[in-house]
Amino acid sequence: MVRKYTDGFKLAVVKDYYQSTLGVRAIANKYNLPSKNYINNWEKQLKKKGLLPPDATKPNKTAGRSTEAITRADTRTPREKQYEEEIRYLKAKVAYLESLESLQPFLKKK
């Protein structure tokens, strides 16, 4: 399915990208865009159309991760959360028991 985006939406996304501490991939995720290339292409298109100044660009970022987090809705049901917790517990238990089995040849038999 091909989606069409309005110039207003494109402009809002690019301006958010300019003003945010997030990178282009994080902004693409924030707006549920399939790729970061959308934002890069929109930036060029908007400059050609005159909706953005030709010298508009994102300010240099500081090094390191952003403190701004992208929040996504947790759509898991309580049962799914419970199962995931149980799976984590069982994986840890299996790993522990496997580590004990690897020590078996070194244990003295009674």
Check if the beta carbon of residue 14 is closer than 8 Å to that of residue 52.
Answer: yes
CA distance 109 to 42: 71
Whole-number pLDDT of residue 60: 67
Domain assignment present for residue 109? The answer is no
Domain assignment present for residue 12? The answer is yes
Report the amino acid identity of residue 22: L
**Residue bearing the bigger pLDDT, 62 or 107:** 107
**Please, which pLDDT band fits residue 91 given cuts at 50, 70 and 90?**
very high
What single DSSP character describes residue 108? P
- Give the tens place of pLDDT for each residue, 57-90: 776 655 566 655 566 678 889 999 999 999 999 9
CA distance 67 to 41: 26
- Give the tens place of pLDDT for each residue, 24-48: 888 899 998 988 899 989 989 998 9
Domain assignment present for residue 62? The answer is no
Whole-number pLDDT of residue 89: 96
Check if the beta carbon of residue 24 is closer than 8 Å to that of residue 17.
Answer: yes
The residue range of the domain holding 45 is: 7-49
Domain assignment present for residue 13? The answer is yes
Number of structural domains in the chain? 1
Domain assignment present for residue 78? The answer is no
